[in-house]
Amino acid sequence: MKKLFVLFSLLIVSFPSFATEASVLKLSLWDQMAVAAPNNKHDVTGLDFGIGSKTDSVTGLQLDLIWSETNYQLKGVSSAWLVNMANQVKGFQTAVFVRATDVVGVQLGAVNITQSINGAQIAFYNQAEQLHGLQLGFINYAREINKGLQIGLLNIAENGYLPVMVFVNGRF
């Protein structure tokens, strides 16, 4: 009777996950070598866990040991030890090297590079074409600060009051 109850409970809990086209759980060995439940390796709504993974979209948690890549949209948290790349990020990205096209949220790493940040970059080296928020690091570069602040040893902003500043630079 207990086994039947446990099986029935698992079916009820997992039923919503099979009703959607996105995977609730993806386990990646490397790149597209992965298993997913349900069988959709490209769109994950839930947990993407592996050594290195490539996914089209993630809504939830992406945890990879070496690298992770999200081709289109990441909503949530993405963490990899070495490299973390995404296109559109709404949430949190972390790794040694972090790259994204459009970020609304936080990038945390040794090197952060993005086209547009609306939030915070925290690293040894931060680079953004458009900054709306905070860059905190030893070296910060922004081609254009819309509204934001750079705090670090060397701060470069092409449209800042002074293009190169020590310790603090910003535009409000």
142 part of a folded domain: yes
- Sign, Cα dihedral of 88, 94, 99, 105: positive
Element (H, E) at 3: helix 2-19
User: In 23-168, which residue ranges form alpha helices assigned H by DSSP?
Assistant: none
Question: What residue numbers bound the domain in which 44 lies?
Answer: 17-95
Tens-place pLDDT, residues 81-120: 999 999 999 999 999 999 999 999 999 999 999 999 999 9
**Is 27 in the same domain as 90?**
yes
Give the separation between CA 25 and CA 53, rounded to whole angstroms.
13
Residues 83 and 131 in one domain: no
Q: Are 159 and 146 in contact (CB under 8 A)?
A: no
Number of other residues whose CB lies within 10 A of the CB of residue 128 = 28
Pair (80, 29) in one structural domain: yes
Structural domain contains residue 102: no
Q: Looking at the structure, do residues 33 and 76 belong to the same domain, yes or no?
A: yes
- Same structural domain for residues 123 and 88? no
Q: Domain count of the chain?
A: 2
Q: Render pLDDT for 35-86 as a digit per residue (tens, 0 to 9).
A: 766 666 688 998 999 999 899 999 999 999 999 999 999 999 999 999 999 9
Q: Is residue 39 part of a domain?
A: yes
